[in-house]
Amino acid sequence: MKSYIKHFIQMVSLGLTHTTPYRIGRAWGAFFLFSLLFIACSPSVPDSFVEVDALPAIYPDYINVTVPVNIAPLHFHIDSEAEAADFVTRFTAGAEEWAIEGEDVRPGLKRWQQMKAAALKANGQITIEVFIQQDGQWQRRKPFSITISKDSIDPYISYRLISPSYVTYEDLTINQRCLENFEESLIYGNMINSDEENGQCINCHHAQWYNPNRVQFHVRQYLGGTVIAYDDKLQKINLKTDSTISAGVYPTWHPTKPWIVYSTNSTGQSFHTRDAQKIEVQDTKSNLIFYNLETNEVTPITRDTTDLDCFPFWSPDGKYIYYVSCHWERRDTLQMDFEFIKHYKDVQYNLYRKPFDEKTLTFGPRELMYDAIARNRSVTLPRVSPDGRWLMFTEGQFGVFHIWHSDADLFLMDLTQAEPTEPTLVTRFNTKNLPDEYYAHTKNNVELDHIVDSLNEAQGAQHALPASIRNIQELNSSDVESWHCWSSNGAWVIFSSRRDDGNFTRPFIAHHDGNGHFAHPFELPQDNPQYHRQFMRSYNIPEFLSGPVTIKPQEFATIIKKDATPAQLRISDKAIDGHTAASPKAPK
Amino acid sequence: MRQANRKDKKYIDKKEQYPQIQPTSLPHGRDRRLGILYFFVVFAVLVFFGIRLVLLESETLLRAQELNLWLPTGLYWKTIMQYPGGAASWLSTYLTQYFYYPWLGVTILCGLWLAICGLLAWVYRLRGPWTMLTLLVPLALLASIVQTGYWIYYMKLQGHFFVPTIGVLYATLCLVIQRLLNSYLPKKVARYAQYGWMVLVCVIGYPFFGAWALGATGLLALSPKPKYWPLGISVLLIAAVPQIYYQQVFEMTERSFIYVAALPSFRYGNGSYEVYRIPYYAILATFLILVAINVCECFSFAKQMKSWHRSLIAIILVATAIFGVNRAWYHDSNFQKELAMNRAIEELDWERVLTIARDGSSDIKPTRQMVMYKNLALFRLGRAGSEMFFYPEGAVQQNAPWKVRMTQIGGKLIYYHYGKENFCYRWCMEDGVEFGWKAEFLKFMARTSILNQEWTVARKYLDLLKKTTFHRRWAERYEKYLATPDAFNLEKLEASVKAGQPLLDDKGMKEFAPILHMMTYPDRLDGDNTLVEMYLLQTFAKGNGDDPLFQEMTLICSLIMKDIDLFWPRFMKFANMHPTIHMPLHYQEAAYLYGHLENKVDISKMPFDQNVRDTYDRFMAFNDQCGPMSEEQKAIAFYPQFGNTFYYFYFLVRNQKTN
């Protein structure tokens, strides 16, 4: 009976809050919920109990985390290792106490506000004690605390929800979530413009400096184009030109001007036969382009076919573009995609930047900021903090799409200490150039692969991590960390991690003390604490927003149905550093 | 006396206020008794078809519930309610679970149909022989189920077996309530109540029942008989309500789908298969017939009809419907065999797979899927090398108007057992996204995750399965394996077996141990381009493993690919790895044949069985006799004598186009 009641409450509270048709029955749900709460006795903390010197196992892991003052309630589930009869959780903030019964600990918005207010009046902490009744005996697990930081967080995040699938992409949505409560809504979903014959992929949503009125995302295949909302103007642009690899892919807005730098990519994916990482996403070509929204002009920034430039990010002062690049000279196969598949572990990216002249709209020569390849590593996704001091990036052993690499970790570069450097020439080991003794003692191909990996690892370990860079161990886990974003005040970062189960990406948020150190991260709170355990989709590219995107999905759908406006190609004669610069045309 | 007058007046007033309920048949007691008899006929026909459904379609129903998922979670409800008609799907997926016991699911289905018949008879005031006409509705619903065939893998509408029944039940209940309103409210009030009810049925019902709510709105306007105002209002509602919901509520539905929400699309790829929509048009037509009967009974010519006239018309219509159901019924022995073989493999009953493969009750050649199931069973029994060509070969395309891909039907199972766990997982994920999550996919994903030693995500899938009504026990069985991670390390498992204390129970050993042997290959990046058989043949034939089971698979695949260069090193390695066993027949045949075809390997000292030599000699002699015959003619002529040899396979089995 208890489980039915619990289930009913779960159904009503979770389902009703999110599904529009369910909202029709919301009032009924609230009525029943109220009735149930009214009938239920208010829980009390047991008088006698045994102290257990172990922290409770809770999901999500909210033990000793620091959270922003305006965050939604941190609901969690108590994972009891044995059959437990009852659970009571006591929250204490200052002199006030609250007790909540059950294995799903859900204080709710109102009580959570009270807790936060009481904590802020006292030492800023909410202390949590979990009491578990087993075999008629109450146990108290070691208490833990949640620290309420006075640093607030941007109220919204946007993200794409996608099943970690491979080729198919039905039911693909770009959503926004209010971090102050549990409200989630759709920005755009692909099914509104898809049918059996015509599928649509949507990706790479990005806002200009957290502004929900200036956003862009791409639509691929059916009705493809780049949708750009800029204040009151909503348009669909075709960024593909005859002289560029593709339409725009990974975007970065200029902090203030209507300019966007994109990478253009020829991307493919292949599948691991044994490795649990399952997929390898690779570019066989990639360059950078500059798009001027005012003039609707695309200008190539880099066009070298042996350099794969990707993931640009504009520094907050607008003076630099940070990006990653892999130098690849064709080796031994006819087709580039086969070559990349064959040598996928050798595809590694370094971190570069290019100065940008706002007056002439030109980019200067590239500067190597971090020679990751020398360390047998590969970096991706540079993101500069709003104060311009810190650059966070993801590092893994190979490749550029680290969301599928379990060794991917977040690293932090102090830009005040970082200096441009020169690349180190490296020759990697492979199964054909090993010293002879290894072939003699190797039993099979699996062993040979391991030897190659360990020799290359040892070779990379000879190069120390530059002093300006550190592994953000307090944020990293044994699984993937990637796709990070700084909050507009620089006090928080949100990043994607697969630490929960290794397969589904979940957003985590961590407090930044301003000096390059972070508090223990916490998972995006959900009303149903076990939501992410049931949810079969991953969060892609969580990005902060200062408010909600107010354009309705149907409005996006209407503009997407229309033909895309083709962008005009503009190629400058002025070549810099072997690359063609952006057009020296001043903005209006 | 005065009192009596008042009573009379009240009676008269009441008669004026309430609408006249027109009996549509003769009100004699005899006909009432006959009515019960006719309803018994309805019951008997439903029982007959129910039994037939269980007897003929148990495999389909079992697979349908495996390809279904209902979860008692808010998230599941939220997900399904993103689209109009979500509640119909929610209820239907719940009920589809009961096909876990086909008789139980069918009983529920027939029970609902009987309820629909009874309610329709009451709503449309059908009496006497007309009662039988209510059968038209369940017969159309039955046709929508029995026509399914390969759509069970491709249907995107969740719970599609029950959705039409739920939709019709919703419409019927709406009609019941309308009749109750008409019966118990004063006439003027009843008219406005009808309008209000119509609005409610459409506006409230649309998000929950989609197109079925629109249909119900239309039927309300036609009941008890068509009138201009209700018709006008219903047309307006049907046109406007989905549009309003599209603009304001449903953010994930394509505009052209809003009027057909909660109906199966019968579109796949670039094709649209209209013929499958006939049962749905039939549902609509049967309702119109019932309305028409109801209306016609008001006219004098109908009143003059004799009972046998009505019986004749009803019998003709019902007989036509039964004929239609039989026409729509999907009969394909390969489809049924594929389902049965799939289930046998899931139960690790390899001999049953072979029994089904041997079944010669049909002249139709097998599909590649069946051949692969058979080869897998033989491989698992260790008899592939000696029996592989004893079974009929074939590459018959699945009987569906579109190109059926093995990845969608049995490819996942094949990948799973051949140790290609990532590819099994991949296709579960792909199809889960494309066609919706199914219990079957979660089971594969849980097992592949266990084999890949991804314990947390395996638990995620098992926890989801534990929430279902019938797969809980399955999930609990596999959950036990999470506690023994060492069991999925082949070396540790084998050591435990040698020590006499296996880390896995008997079932686990039978299922997982061979797969772990098949997983002894290095990782690389690859892709199957949706061609399961070709991918497996290529990768195994070119593979080079030291595990005995894996190594034999490389030999088998080089044999099937008829690749002489790949065969010899694998044959030699097999011989060295198994010095004590008698070389299986087909391997000997291949070596003997290749030795004669090419003189690259000296076979003169190889100890071939005498029958291998004799058969080869007879084959060649017979070939000389059949000199001028075409290859196709030879294939027929050689089959009785040599159909079970590798020689026949090598020379006369060609163009086995895989899917």
Q: For residue range B68-94, what is the model confidence (pLDDT) as tens digits?
A: 999 999 999 999 999 999 999 999 999
Q: Which two tokens stand for residue B440?
A: 């079957």
Give the rounded percent of residues in chain A with a pLDDT score beyond 90: 74
Mean of the per-residue pLDDT values of chain B: 92
In whole angstroms, give the CA distance from residue B439 to residue B436: 10
Q: pLDDT at residue A26 above 70?
A: no
Residue numbers in A near B539 (CB within 8 A): 273
Question: Quick one: pLDDT at residue A12?
Answer: 43
Instruction: Point out the least confidently predicted range of A188-192, A411-415, B310-314.
Output: B310-314
Residue numbers in B near A7 (CB within 8 A): 72
In whole angstroms, give the CA distance from residue A256 to residue A246: 26
Inter-chain residue contact B251 with A553, CB threshold 8 Å = yes
Q: Is B631 exposed, middle or buried (0-12, 13-18, 19+ CB in 10 A)?
A: exposed
Query: Phi and psi (nearest 5°) for B580?
Result: -95, -15
Give the rounded percent of residues in chain A with a pLDDT score beyond 70: 89
Please state, in angstroms and as integers, the Cα–Cα distance from residue B191 to each residue in A65, B175, B188, following that order.
63, 14, 5
Q: Which two tokens stand for residue B426?
A: 């991949």
Q: By the 8 A CB rule, do A234 and A294 touch?
A: no
CATH level 2 (architecture), domain A44-149: Sandwich (2.60)
Residue numbers in A near B457 (CB within 8 A): 501-504
Which of A278, A504, A554 has the CB atom closest to B247's CB atom? A554
Residue in chain A lying closest to B73 (CA): A11
Residue numbers in B near A193 (CB within 8 A): 254
Residue in chain B lying closest to A164 (CA): B429
DSSP H or E run through A285: strand A279-292
The amino acid at residue A395 is E
Residue numbers in B near A341 (CB within 8 A): 525
Question: Quick one: pLDDT at residue A425?
Answer: 85
CATH class as words, domain A156-424+463-569: mainly beta
Distance from CA of B249 to the nearest CA of A (A): 6
* Per-residue pLDDT tens digits for A113-147: 999 999 999 999 999 999 999 888 999 999 999 99
Q: Which DSSP symbol is given to B157?
A: S
Distance from CA of A9 to the nearest CA of B (A): 9
Residue that wins the pLDDT comparison between B39 and A582: B39
Sign of CA dihedral A481, A483, A486, A487: negative
Confidence of residue A11 (pLDDT cuts 50, 70, 90): very low
Q: Is A454 exposed, middle or buried (0-12, 13-18, 19+ CB in 10 A)?
A: exposed
The residues facing B493 across adjacent strands are none
Q: pLDDT at residue A165 above 90?
A: no
The residues facing A323 across adjacent strands are A352
Inter-chain residue contact B269 with A197, CB threshold 8 Å = yes
Residue numbers in A near B76 (CB within 8 A): 534
Q: Is A437 exposed, middle or buried (0-12, 13-18, 19+ CB in 10 A)?
A: exposed
In whole angstroms, give the CA distance from residue B281 to residue B170: 17
In whole angstroms, give the CA distance from residue A169 to residue A175: 15
Q: pLDDT at residue A54 above 90?
A: yes
Sign of CA dihedral A542, A545, A547, A551: negative
In whole angstroms, give the CA distance from residue A298 to residue A243: 10
Inter-chain residue contact A272 with B523, CB threshold 8 Å = yes
Among the listed residues A403, A412, A413, A411, the one whose alpha carbon sits nearest the alpha carbon of residue A499 = A403
Distance from CA of B461 to the nearest CA of A (A): 8
Distance from CA of A517 to the nearest CA of B (A): 29
Q: By the 8 A CB rule, do B183 and B18 touch?
A: yes
Please state, in angstroms and as integers, the Cα–Cα distance from residue B174 to each residue in B135, B396, B528, following that order.
19, 48, 51
Mean pLDDT along residues B140-147: 97
* Per-residue pLDDT tens digits for A63-84: 999 999 999 999 999 998 677 7
Largest CA-CA distance found in chain B, in angstroms, rounded: 124
Inter-chain residue contact A195 with B267, CB threshold 8 Å = yes
Query: Phi and psi (nearest 5°) for B188?
Result: -65, -45
Inter-chain residue contact B75 with A166, CB threshold 8 Å = no
* Per-residue pLDDT tens digits for B501-549: 999 999 999 999 999 999 999 899 999 999 999 999 999 999 988 999 9
Q: By the 8 A CB rule, do B283 and B168 touch?
A: yes
Q: pLDDT at residue B13 above 50?
A: no
Q: pLDDT at residue A164 above 60?
A: yes
Q: By the 8 A CB rule, do B324 and B312 touch?
A: no
Query: Phi and psi (nearest 5°) for A130?
Result: -110, 125
Best probe of the A interface among B70, B77, B402, by most A CBs < 10 A, is B77
Inter-chain residue contact A444 with B522, CB threshold 8 Å = yes
Which of B82, B437, B545 has the CB atom closest to A536's CB atom? B437
What count of CB pairs under 8 Å joins A to B?
179
Inter-chain residue contact B81 with A19, CB threshold 8 Å = yes
Locate tokens 């290609």: which residue? Answer: B420
Q: Which DSSP symbol is given to A180?
A: T
Q: By the 8 A CB rule, do B482 and B466 touch?
A: no
The dihedral region occupied by A352, where left means phi > 0, alpha psi between -120 and 50, and beta the remainder, is: beta
DSSP H or E run through A162: strand A156-162
Mean pLDDT along residues A463-491: 96
Which of A171, A448, A531 has the CB atom closest to B433's CB atom? A171
Q: pLDDT at residue B34 above 80?
A: no
Residue that wins the pLDDT comparison between B4 and B633: B633
State pTM to two decimals. Answer: 0.92
The dihedral region occupied by A541, where left means phi > 0, alpha psi between -120 and 50, and beta the remainder, is: left
Which of A22, A165, A192 has the CB atom closest to B433's CB atom? A165
In whole angstroms, give the CA distance from residue B212 to residue B209: 5
Question: Quick one: pLDDT at residue A580?
Answer: 47
Helix axes B228-248, B211-222, angle to 10 degrees: 160
Mean pLDDT along residues B291-311: 80
Q: Which two tokens stand for residue A527?
A: 């009303």
Confidence of residue B181 (pLDDT cuts 50, 70, 90): very high
Residue in chain B lying closest to A16 (CA): B78
Inter-chain residue contact B251 with A186, CB threshold 8 Å = yes
Q: Which two tokens stand for residue A124?
A: 């800023």
Confidence of residue B31 (pLDDT cuts 50, 70, 90): low
Distance from CA of B633 to the nearest CA of A (A): 42
Q: Do domains A44-149 and A156-424+463-569 have the same CATH topology?
A: no
Q: Are strands A279-292 and A259-272 parallel, antiparallel or unpaired?
A: antiparallel
CA angle, B39 then B42 then B46, to 5°: 145
Q: By the 8 A CB rule, do B84 and B245 touch?
A: yes
Spans of all domains in chain A: 44-149, 156-424+463-569, 425-462
Residue numbers in B near A173 (CB within 8 A): 252
Residue that wins the pLDDT comparison between A81 and B568: B568
Residue numbers in A near B255 (CB within 8 A): 192
Q: Which two tokens stand for residue A251?
A: 């975007």
In whole angstroms, give the CA distance from residue A390 to residue A386: 8
Mean pLDDT along residues B207-229: 93
Q: By the 8 A CB rule, do A75 and A529 touch?
A: yes
Inter-chain residue contact B269 with A170, CB threshold 8 Å = no
Question: Quick one: pLDDT at residue A384?
Answer: 98
Which of B71, B423, B460 has the CB atom closest to A533's CB atom? B460
In whole angstroms, give the CA distance from residue A215 to residue A188: 12
Q: pLDDT at residue B367 above 70?
A: yes
Residue numbers in B near A12 (CB within 8 A): 74
N residues, chain B: 659
Residue numbers in A near B268 (CB within 8 A): 196
Q: Are strands A184-189 and A173-178 parallel, antiparallel or unpaired?
A: antiparallel
Q: What is the Cβ-side half-sphere exposure of residue B4, based on CA atoms within 13 angstroms?
A: 1
Distance from CA of B57 to the nearest CA of A (A): 28
Q: Which two tokens stand for residue B25?
A: 């048949």
Question: Quick one: pLDDT at residue B57?
Answer: 96
Query: Phi and psi (nearest 5°) for A240?
Result: -80, 130
* Per-residue pLDDT tens digits for B425-464: 999 999 999 999 999 999 999 999 999 999 999 999 999 9
Distance from CA of B245 to the nearest CA of A (A): 9
Residue numbers in A near B252 (CB within 8 A): 171, 173, 186, 189, 191-192, 553
Inter-chain residue contact A165 with B432, CB threshold 8 Å = yes
In whole angstroms, give the CA distance from residue B452 to residue B442: 15
Residue numbers in A near B81 (CB within 8 A): 15, 19, 21-22
Q: By the 8 A CB rule, do B586 and B559 touch?
A: yes
Best probe of the A interface among B408, B523, B528, B536, by most A CBs < 10 A, is B523
The residues facing A288 across adjacent strands are A263
* Per-residue pLDDT tens digits for A280-313: 999 999 999 999 999 999 999 998 989 999 999 9
